[in-house]
């Protein structure tokens, strides 16, 4: 397959990832109707995604199921247990309190914080492209919050912003802590480690809660969460391999827009025009910060696929 065909195929794969993964938040909203806590819902999500990914990766290349040595295994498990479980738990807690569209647009402010942490911890140069990106994201954030603050949970907004900061820290530190790991192996352990942590936090409770099997609708919802999370992550990693992280992250920025559309159609959630403009500006800021002409790379170790 020649280079233009690889690029075209990679773009399609990355778009498919965004389409699939943007449904996770909407499905989570449905799942909350079965009276599970964020910890319980997140445990089911990670367990199902882990099982699906083990099967997919095992069928394609079973060697990728295992780290290269014990040290790498410990780093993958420990780092993912802390820096994936924490932000994702914050994300799912905020999602319970916020409209899907507001939550998704807020989360995608993380590149602004990631650039700041990259400057602090990795000593990366602050470029004009990054400053322009932060400026556009800041305007979008002000419009989004200005239109939404009095109509949505303030605690939910603060929780999602905490998630955004925590995820940005993960994205930056992962560049230093986890080097040379195959992205597919990293993606798998980003699911397995949180599943282990959440099973320990809910020890004594069922591995799969009765609510998961309470009706055909419930089974479809929970299966959809697992499939969306695992499939979206796997396709995103494949997209990075085919077209590079910068292009994949730009395409990944479609997620909040698609989530807002899904929320409108399936949940009846409507955004105020000003809030929608603010959300679109946030997406535009992410795109600006990832344009190939800039030297500032927003870390993209699984940007929306990790914390959602």
Spatial neighbors of 273 by CB under 8 A, at least 6 apart, are none
Split at pLDDT 50, 70, 90, the class of 78 is very high
pLDDT at residue 18, as a whole number: 87
pLDDT at residue 300, as a whole number: 43
Burial-class residue 230 by CB neighbours within 10 Å (0-12, 13-18, 19+): buried
For the chain, domain boundaries: 17-290
Query: Measuring CA to CA, which residue among 21, 68, 75, 71 is closest to residue 193?
Result: 75
Overall average pLDDT of the 183-200 stretch: 92
Overall average pLDDT of the 66-94 stretch: 92
Residue 283 has pLDDT above 70, yes or no: yes
Overall average pLDDT of the 42-47 stretch: 95
pLDDT at residue 301, as a whole number: 40
pLDDT at residue 280, as a whole number: 92
Number of H helices, E strands in the chain: 15, 0
Of 222-226, 234-238, 280-284, the range with the lowest mean pLDDT is: 234-238
Residue 33 has pLDDT above 60, yes or no: yes
Of 52-66, 100-114, 173-187, the range with the lowest mean pLDDT is: 173-187
* pLDDT, tens only, 55-68: 999 998 999 999 98
Residue 298 has pLDDT above 60, yes or no: no
Q: Which residues of 150-181 are buried (b: 16+ CB within 10 A; e: fewer)?
A: eebbeebbebbbbbbbbbbbbbbbbbeebeeb
Tell me the two tokens of residue 168: 């940005």
CB 105 within 8 A of CB 261: no
Of the two residues 122 and 58, the one the predictor is more confident about is 58
Residue 38 has pLDDT above 60, yes or no: yes
Residue 1 has pLDDT above 60, yes or no: no
């Amino acid at each position: 397959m020649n280079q233009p065909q690889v690029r075209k195929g990679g773009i399609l794969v990355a778009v498919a990832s965004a389409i699939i993964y943007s449904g996770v938040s909407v499905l989570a909203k449905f799942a909350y109707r079965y009276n599970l806590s964020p910890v319980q819902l997140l445990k089911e999500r990670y367990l199902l995604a882990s099982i699906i990914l083990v099967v997919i990766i095992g069928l394609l290349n079973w060697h990728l199921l295992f780290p290269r040595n014990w040290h790498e295994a410990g780093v993958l498990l420990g780092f993912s247990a802390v820096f994936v479980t924490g932000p994702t738990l914050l994300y799912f807690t905020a999602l319970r309190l916020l409209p899907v569209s507001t939550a998704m647009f807020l989360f995608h402010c993380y590149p602004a914080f990631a650039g700041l942490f990259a400057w602090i911890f990795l000593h990366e140069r602050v470029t004009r492209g990054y400053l322009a990106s932060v400026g556009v994201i800041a305007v979008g954030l002000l419009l989004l919050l200005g239109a939404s603050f009095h109509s949505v949970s303030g605690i939910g907004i603060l929780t999602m912003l905490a998630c955004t900061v925590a995820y940005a820290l993960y994205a930056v530190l992962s560049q230093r802590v986890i080097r040379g790991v195959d992205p597919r192996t990293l993606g798998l352990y980003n699911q397995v480690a949180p599943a282990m942590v959440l099973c320990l936090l809910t020890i004594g409770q069922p591995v799969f809660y009765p609510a998961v099997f309470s009706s055909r609708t419930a089974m479809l919802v929970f299966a959809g969460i697992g499939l969306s999370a695992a499939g979206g992550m796997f396709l995103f990693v494949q997209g990075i391999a085919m077209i590079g992280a910068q292009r994949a992250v730009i395409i990944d920025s479609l997620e909040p827009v698609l989530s807002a559309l899904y929320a409108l159609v399936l949940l009846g959630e409507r955004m105020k025009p000003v809030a929608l403009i603010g959300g679109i500006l946030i997406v535009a800021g992410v795109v600006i910060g990832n344009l190939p002409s800039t030297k500032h790379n927003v870390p993209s170790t699984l940007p929306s696929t990790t914390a959602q």
